[in-house]
Structure 1
Amino acid sequence: MCMRGAMVLACCCLLSARAIAAAPDEPAPTGRLPEWAQPLLYRVALRVDPEQARFSGDVDITVALRKPSDHLWLHGQGLQVDRASVTDAAGTAHAAHYREVLADVGVARIDLDGVLPAQTIHLRMHYSAALADGVQGLYKTQQGGQAYAMAQMEPISARTVFPCFDEPAFRASFALSLTVPARDIALANTRQIAQAAAGPGWKTVVFAPSKPLPTYLLAFGVGPWDVRSAASIAPDAYRNTPLPLRSIGYAGEADSMRRVAAFTPSIIQALENYYGYGYPWDKLDLINLGGGMENPGLVVLDDVGSGVPQPSPAAMRGAFNLAAHEFAHQWTGNTVTMAWWTDTWLSEAFTTWMQQKITMQLHPEYRGDLDRVKLLQRAMANDSLLSARAIRQPVQGNGDIMNAFDDITYEKGAGVLGMFEHYLGEAAFQQGLRAYVHQHAMQSVAAAAVVDAIAQQASDSAAVKRAFYSFLDQNGVPYVRAKVLTQHGQTVLQLAQMRYLPLGANGDGERHWGIPVCVRYSTAAGSRDACTLLDTAQATLALPGADAASWVMPNAGAQGYYRYALDSHSLATLAAHTARLSDVEQLAYADAIEASFHHGDIDAGEVLAALRPLADAPAREVATAPLAQVAWIYRHLAHTDAQRAAVVQWVTTAYLPHLQRLGYQARAGESDGDALWRTALVPPLAFEFKLPAVRAVLLQQGDALLAAMRNGSFDAQHVDREMAIAALGVAVQERGEAALQTLATAEEGGGDSVWQRQLVQAMAHANDSPSAAQLRALALDPKLDGVAMLGLLMTTDGNVMDRDARWQWFDAHLPKLLAGLPGPAAAYMPSMLAMEACSDADATRLQAMFGGAAAQVPGVARGVAQAGETIHLCGALRAAQDPAALTR
């Protein structure tokens, strides 16, 4: 091998370096960068003042140059580089020239003054760039009249902050220093190791070098942060030293992370125990910025209401689940990283699956098992589209990267993991994941690393690998059709698999997977389970002990990622015994009814009859599961007064008595369950089905809250916030522009950042034409960030009264709206409009709206395709149904 220094030239004399140098017109890489230049270490020194529009920096990248070249490819976007040089292994400096050759995607080229042999070099650049206005890159934000700058690199925004190799495969260490105003506090992934004055009014803060990270996980922030130390997390069998823990918020808001910090140690130690691998970073800061991001050592989380005496159960559960998700990333995503965005599931699917596991372990009362099934079913609804992407969809450009952060990656990926865990057994599955993390720590890998580790735990590893990849590499939902038969005196289940295609989908249903199918069925001695790996078009599964009267649940424990259908007799038998099913199986039954409806097998009247027993289930998640499907029927099929009255009567009978027993305000000492029931029932009954009895009570409450806001006596810290949002939403709809303006004034007044976001939720209920127009005007306020803008525009009412005006407004303002959205969010705007549409004419209109320049925004093209297909399928189902079935 070649050695450093003078020996480099001798090693390379066997070939003519200049002869193999790339031509100046070599095409710029539009996908992955070439691997012959590898970053090893970044020394990044930035000068940042959040009050200013721009920042400057010096970066020194240690690069392993693995072949002779006169140029380098890397990433940079919107950077003004005024000095660049390269120092070779012998210490000789060479001139270099930086230029952004593909400005729209952020690809840059460094041209050298000659060909350098393969060796380790230092690439140095001085540059400046603008602080971003959104929430990508190094962005600036205002809170309480003070300025902050925060870095959000995922997925591909590091290139807007410094010149770098902005791909997950390129892990490198970071040595970061920040020169900031003396009044401000600087934060980063690693602990601070030094601080020194840097001229009048400035200081330089130096942070410990990091372990190897991809660029998307580099994080830092500057501003008047409020920092509070919490008790360190005690050592355990996998970590020898205490882990420093801090809560961080905007000025005056460090306390907002207090409740999150309290449950953090239990989550971290549960994860360490599962993976047998200690938390790998030198500290853990929890920073409250809203949302979540798994930055090592500087995790972005959301609070549960700053200063709220008693947060709602929903807020506490949401905060716990978010923390469990982001902390799980510290192992899958941060310790082991995907080599390319094709395998984003290695990060997001695993953390979604692990979050549910941790929730069930530490807080079984939160019912993470039911959340798992609900999220899995949401993914299957998306995956039923012909335009759905595969979990491992090839990623060619930035748009594909943006599309990778969706229900398929998160929820489908998690569902597939859970299915194979159930099939292999929890202990074997854990052993495979431990091997994966330990063997590939601080590496970037492809799917084979984890699939092989898991499959090795099976008796037939080759079959399991084939089955696993059948779910990773092809889109679509398996449809398992099951029929109970008697063969040779034995009861068996005849199984057939195909792709699930709803009415209106013109795809090929002849597709096969390796499906771990587990069924539960009744016998005279109780229920039993039977499992098989269904990897052929048809198969037969014996059901020992079953007879003609047995009920069969084709998805035992709701663990499978597939939809099922039973023959009519078996379905009727199962429907008569839904009370014998577990809570998660009842959710799977509800999905089977929905799948049959969208497949055209049953009509709307049969849906209402089949779902009605679930409304009486003790579990809230099961009892309210029918509401979404009933809402679709109400919105799209109930045309006459009689039909609408029939659906409203169904809802009223099923749910109103329960809500009236609960009441419309939290009671002293009531259980979390009661509070969550109320939160689940009030919004759909008030806004979707508009039950007069519900709206009358909420309007009275909303009027009182508005009056308190206007006379200055309102106290957001001591209201039932869940009900306040609903009450104010009804008031906005009934009182119009005056109510909306009161809420807008309160939201602009600052204060509790969580309450500000909740006010936006209430305002989004505006649905009459004048109020909706006012709301859209507020969304264009330049002071709003993209998240707040999206909140105002995402209507929470299913019956938009001025949809034509709304669509015209979106069409007129689309470039500005898309430019203001954070990262992948732009790809979801088409689906936001699709929720209001149900005809091919609407689909055509949507396609036209998002054509032209909008189609060039990364991720939007796929978003339009999926939204258009969703609209088409809605229209096809509506056309195939006879609304008269609602009154028969």
Structure 2
Amino acid sequence: MKQAIGSRLLSVAVLAMAIFVSMPAASASAAYSGQGVPTGKLPDWVVPQRYDVALRADPAEQAFTGEVTIDVVLKEAHDFVWLNGQNLDVTRVQATDDAGHTRTGRYHEVDTEAGVARIDFDRPLPAGTVRLHFIYSAPLNTDLQGFYRVDHQGAAYAMTQFEAVSARRTFPSFDQPDIKTPFVLHLTVPGTDRALANTPVARQTAQPNGWQRFDFKPTRPLPTYLVAFAVGPWDVVTGPTVAANRWRDRATPLRGIAARHRGAELKPALAQTPAMVTALEQYFDYGYPFEKLDVLAAPDFAAGAMENAGLITFRDWYMLRTPDSPAASRRDSFEVEAHELAHQWVGNTVTMAWWNDLWLNEAFATWMQQKITDQLKPAYHAGLDRITGAERAMNDDSLTTARRIRQPIETIGDIGNAFDSITYAKGAAVLGMFETFLGPDVFRQGMQRYIHQYAFRNATAEDLVATLAETAEADDAFGPAFMSFLNQSGVPYVRTTLRHVDGHAVLDVRQQRYLPLGSDGATDRRWGLPLCVRYPSGAGTSRTHCQLVTASTARMALPGAVDTPAWIMPNANAAGYYRFALDRHSLDGLLAHRNDLNDGEKIALADAALASFRQATLGPDALLATMQALAGAKTTAVATAPIHGLAWLWHYAADSDPARAHVQQAAAAAYLPRLKALGYARRRNESADAPALRRTLAEFLGVTLNVPAVADALAERGRAVLAPALDEDADTDATLAYDAVNPDLLAAALSVAARRNGRPAVEALENALRHNGDADQRNAMITALARIEDPELRETVRNFALTPHIKTGEMVALLSGGDRHGATARSADEAASMWHWFTTHFDAIKARTGPFSGGDLPGLAAGGACTVEAADRLEAFFTPRLDQLRGARRNLAQTAESIRLCAALAARQRMSVD
């Protein structure tokens, strides 16, 4: 599954994966003990073998009916069976043993919150094969989980989202990842609708009253969370066939599915798919494992995307593209599809044994997404994404409340909490670090062995690490080193001191945990750290030397180093998941030799400066110096790396007019010449990096810092877009002139124009959102509304977020008000007004959010606040409500800690300007 958190369209920290039910108090790995309700793993004396699921569903209705048969093997005789079911109205359940004897059972949902049910029988079922048969009905949900319905542009659709444990809301099941069986699906739907599922249709037959039945071919063994189907008046577009090759003796048919009238917009996504599939087959030396491949652009969706076997589902904005789509949207489309296709091997072919190893799915898919993108779209610099993603994860990982990659699943919400930057970005960075340590070829051989050995089975972290160690013939230190990054939280922090010993350059190394100013955590933590440093070796050359550091201190030889190296990069190629210490002297030295560093190392240098700033060992002047040194870099990711630190200064440290003017003028001096050279319009044959740089600089200078020259240019273009609706005589349904601005700058232009034109602009955008179905244009308008600064209009916008005109999956983005450079930064006034509105409307927000993403609400309510008072009131409000919100306990703790750290840093780093 792909988090929406990484979207360049809506870079909002709280726009994360939907939160799912997880395992309460029982241990994550403990099987049912025979006592109490098994709210975690079900007892292992029932072994499912096969499902037959027949549903009758009309997306326009509020409920559906079902008939399900599950073949199981009972290892022991019992007069009851535990299984999963949630909000199912079961009217009949029968069990037939292998002697043909049938018994009627009584179905009870014993724990509705966890979705655990029990079937009781009057006498024991014998050990052996038993067929369980259910007849039931259930609601079509509206919270984007389970089997849910969506009304979109005058049509009704129903589709599934089962990860993590929402299959139990749709049919009685054994809903956990270590149970993989074939499924046979049957869908009876209105005659005007089409039905799709994981496998091709085996037979389609007419039914009475204008209905039709779709019988699908059996699936390969799957866990319940990868089962998927969809019903509605879909556009179905045939894509290019994925040709047969040495891994597959048959071609794989490819199709795109979209809401009515949107099918043509899938063609760009379909065109890029075959090359991705082939690249993944080459890497894993294993063919695409399913009979067909459908990609579905969902009209509303809680996650970024979901890797259902053979039927991958996406938020529509990731898949629907036109010639006028923003460059960032085209890139998002490629990378998100690469992520979900990678899951067909890591997750679908080999599946984690339990949710504590979710990283085996998500970290690997993130890592492979970047690898495949680098191979097929080198201009995207996806390798740098791993570095910037790791740095964002390090910010979360610096909290004392941070979770581990391999976090035990112990409380309600723990599964949902695992869909975060630690699992995705930190996990991918750790994989990349050990790939570098072992060597890419050896690591690839290990991955191939892992996929072949565990194909259509379950695996654990221990299985993976053992396979890699065996392939690499690694020594005994490798496994503990790898596991040290999986089984403890935190960011390693490396301090280095250059010395000369017996005439040779050596580096004294000390590792501890990185903690920012204000943290009450302990620094005495160590890892098995693959430390790689790069240094000059004479005649304009450099060398890289690596050493596995397992103790708190170590000495590292620098073979081939010049007598007195002028610079040392403590994280060569930025391949390591760690930060390194900088004082002002070492920062200035590396900045002076920045041309000796590669792009990844320059990004790591900018992060190291910001990390030292957060410890208050460097001041605001160091961030400005880093910006001035890197702003002219050719690559967008490098040139803009200092922007996050400058945005923090603007929002929190520059609390006087002279200080804000200083930041504004320094940023304009560094970046405005580049923006002027790029211009505001697309140019023929410009580099692939140009649109990203233009957009980022326009947003930062014009929207965040309000640099007059840039803000005026954006306002003029945004006003031209709004012109058809701002005219006094205009129709309220007037179509906006979206083509009046470069699509890459639509959100920025509308943001400034909406601020300057006030209520008429807000009303124009709200009216447009009532009928506009274009995903890119909707995202731009939502972003503009989220950035409104006028207090009265903020209230209007927030109220609009609770109306049906904003999709459930869009609501958080509109409420967040997030500045993409300031990490949802809020002024004190804005934070206070958001808090008042949120607490007043808490019940409505919670009801629309649903039980599965309620855990994110503390971050939505107060994320971006920066005072101790804000943290105190957050805890006072949410603590008595934690039992109502799955997964909110950790979110509350992390949000409150982040706010207090921000307050401590703001107090220490407040800027003074002569």
TM-score by length of 1: 0.95
Contact persistence 1:402–1:823 (CA under 8 A): no
Task: Quote the offset at 1:713 in angstroms.
Answer: 5.7
Contact persistence 1:603–1:882 (CA under 8 A): no
Q: Is 2:297 the counterpart of 1:263?
A: no
Which residue of 469, 472, 476 maps to 2:483? 469
2:62 matched to which residue of 1? 53
Matched to 1:732, the amino acid is A
Task: Compare relative contact order (CA 8 Å, sep 6+) and give the higher one, 1 or 2.
Answer: 2
1:722 matched to which residue of 2? 744
Task: Quote the offset at 1:673 in angstroms.
Answer: 2.5
Q: 1:635 is paired with a residue of what secondary structure? A: helix
Which residue of 342, 345, 351 maps to 1:331? 345
Task: Quote the offset at 1:528 in angstroms.
Answer: 0.5
Task: Quote the offset at 1:825 in angstroms.
Answer: 4.0
Distance in 2, matches of 1:77 and 1:129, equals 9
Task: Quote the offset at 1:818 in angstroms.
Answer: 3.0
Distance in 1, matches of 2:490 and 2:82, equals 37
Contact persistence 1:50–1:147 (CA under 8 A): yes
Distance in 1, matches of 2:47 and 2:33, equals 21
Which residue of 330, 335, 346 maps to 1:321? 335
Distance in 2, matches of 1:609 and 1:754, equals 36
Q: Provide the aligned length of Structure 1 versus Structure 2.
A: 865
2:760 matched to which residue of 1? 738
- CA distances 1:40-96 after superposition (whole Å, capped 9, x unpaired): 111000000001110000110111211221111111111101101111111110111
- CA distances 1:391-414 after superposition (whole Å, capped 9, x unpaired): 000002331011010000000000
Task: Quote the offset at 1:566 in angstroms.
Answer: 4.6
Contact persistence 2:691–2:744 (CA under 8 A): no
Task: Quote the offset at 1:427 in angstroms.
Answer: 0.7
Q: Is 2:135 the counterpart of 1:117?
A: no
1:601 matched to which residue of 2? 617
Q: 1:587 is paired with a residue of what secondary structure? A: helix
Tell me: CA distance 1:505–1:824, structure 2 relative to 1, closer, same or farther (3 Å).
farther
Q: Which moved more, 1:822-831 or 1:558-567?
A: 822-831
1:845 matched to which residue of 2? 873
Tell me: CA distance 1:330–1:830, structure 2 relative to 1, closer, same or farther (3 Å).
same
Matched to 2:206, the amino acid is A
Contact persistence 2:32–2:42 (CA under 8 A): no
Matched to 1:533, the amino acid is L
2:24 matched to which residue of 1? none
- CA distances 1:599-629 after superposition (whole Å, capped 9, x unpaired): 2211122332234201121111111111110
Contact persistence 1:688–1:799 (CA under 8 A): no
Which residue of 444, 450, 457 maps to 1:443? 457
Tell me: CA distance 1:795–1:748, structure 2 relative to 1, closer, same or farther (3 Å).
same
Q: 2:176 is paired with a residue of what secondary structure? A: coil
Q: 1:334 is paired with a residue of what secondary structure? A: coil
1:8 matched to which residue of 2? none
Q: 1:850 is paired with a residue of what secondary structure? A: helix
Q: Is 2:810 the counterpart of 1:792?
A: no
Distance in 2, matches of 1:284 and 1:191, equals 9
Tell me: CA distance 1:234–1:570, structure 2 relative to 1, closer, same or farther (3 Å).
same
Contact persistence 2:499–2:508 (CA under 8 A): yes
Distance in 1, matches of 2:883 and 2:235, equals 42
Task: Quote the offset at 1:677 in angstroms.
Answer: 1.3
Q: 2:654 is paired with a residue of what secondary structure? A: coil
Matched to 1:318, the amino acid is D
Task: Quote the offset at 1:782 in angstroms.
Answer: 3.8
- CA distances 1:762-813 after superposition (whole Å, capped 9, x unpaired): 2212121111010111111145432121121120344554332210111122
Matched to 1:536, the amino acid is A
Q: Is 2:690 the counterpart of 1:674?
A: yes
Distance in 2, matches of 1:471 and 1:305, equals 34
Q: Is 2:883 the counterpart of 1:861?
A: no
- CA distances 1:245-270 after superposition (whole Å, capped 9, x unpaired): 01111111111210010010000000
Task: Quote the offset at 1:667 in angstroms.
Answer: 3.5
Contact persistence 1:495–1:538 (CA under 8 A): yes
1:876 matched to which residue of 2? 904
1:131 matched to which residue of 2? 140
Q: Is 2:856 the counterpart of 1:832?
A: no
1:516 matched to which residue of 2? 530
Q: Is 2:402 the counterpart of 1:396?
A: no
Q: Which moved more, 1:92-101 or 1:304-313?
A: 304-313
Q: 1:460 is paired with a residue of what secondary structure? A: coil
Distance in 2, matches of 1:348 and 1:89, equals 40
Which residue of 639, 642, 651 maps to 2:655? 639
Which residue of 542, 559, 562 maps to 1:546? 562
Q: Which moved more, 1:800-809 or 1:90-99?
A: 800-809
Task: Quote the offset at 1:573 in angstroms.
Answer: 2.4
Contact persistence 2:535–2:565 (CA under 8 A): no
Tell me: CA distance 1:305–1:509, structure 2 relative to 1, closer, same or farther (3 Å).
closer
1:499 matched to which residue of 2? 513
Distance in 2, matches of 1:481 and 1:447, equals 30
Contact persistence 1:183–1:224 (CA under 8 A): yes
Matched to 1:298, the amino acid is L
Distance in 2, matches of 1:533 and 1:823, equals 45
2:831 matched to which residue of 1? 803
Q: 1:169 is paired with a residue of what secondary structure? A: coil
Contact persistence 2:236–2:257 (CA under 8 A): yes
- CA distances 1:81-122 after superposition (whole Å, capped 9, x unpaired): 110111111111011111111111111111122112321111
Distance in 2, matches of 1:715 and 1:268, equals 38
1:813 matched to which residue of 2? 841
Task: Quote the offset at 1:750 in angstroms.
Answer: 3.3
1:755 matched to which residue of 2? 777
Distance in 2, matches of 1:133 and 1:162, equals 17
- CA distances 1:354-409 after superposition (whole Å, capped 9, x unpaired): 00000111111110011111101111111010000000000023310110100000
- CA distances 1:404-428 after superposition (whole Å, capped 9, x unpaired): 1000000000000000000000011
What are the residue-to-residue correspondences of 1:122-271 with 2, within 5 Å?
Answer: 122-271=131-280
Q: 1:746 is paired with a residue of what secondary structure? A: helix
Q: Percent identity?
A: 43
Task: Quote the offset at 1:304 in angstroms.
Answer: 6.0
Task: Quote the offset at 1:729 in angstroms.
Answer: 1.2
Q: 1:221 is paired with a residue of what secondary structure? A: strand
Distance in 2, matches of 1:76 and 1:461, equals 47
1:356 matched to which residue of 2? 370
Q: Which moved more, 1:535-544 or 1:328-337?
A: 535-544
Distance in 2, matches of 1:187 and 1:754, equals 26
Task: Quote the offset at 1:31 in angstroms.
Answer: 1.8
Distance in 1, matches of 2:378 and 2:688, equals 13
- CA distances 1:423-449 after superposition (whole Å, capped 9, x unpaired): 000011011111111011111222111
Q: 1:484 is paired with a residue of what secondary structure? A: strand
- CA distances 1:550-600 after superposition (whole Å, capped 9, x unpaired): 310000010000001156654442232112100000000011101111122
2:705 matched to which residue of 1? 689
1:777 matched to which residue of 2? 799
Contact persistence 1:79–1:160 (CA under 8 A): yes
Q: Which moved more, 1:838-847 or 1:808-817?
A: 808-817
TM-score by length of 2: 0.92
Which residue of 67, 80, 97 maps to 2:89? 80
Task: Quote the offset at 1:455 in angstroms.
Answer: 1.4
Matched to 2:848, the amino acid is G
Tell me: CA distance 1:696–1:24, structure 2 relative to 1, closer, same or farther (3 Å).
closer
Matched to 2:635, the amino acid is A
Task: Quote the offset at 1:638 in angstroms.
Answer: 1.1
Matched to 1:234, the amino acid is A
Matched to 1:528, the amino acid is R
- CA distances 1:429-480 after superposition (whole Å, capped 9, x unpaired): 0111111110111112221111111111334342110001000000000001
Tell me: CA distance 1:307–1:633, structure 2 relative to 1, closer, same or farther (3 Å).
closer
Task: Quote the offset at 1:882 in angstroms.
Answer: 4.8
2:311 matched to which residue of 1? 298
Q: 1:552 is paired with a residue of what secondary structure? A: coil
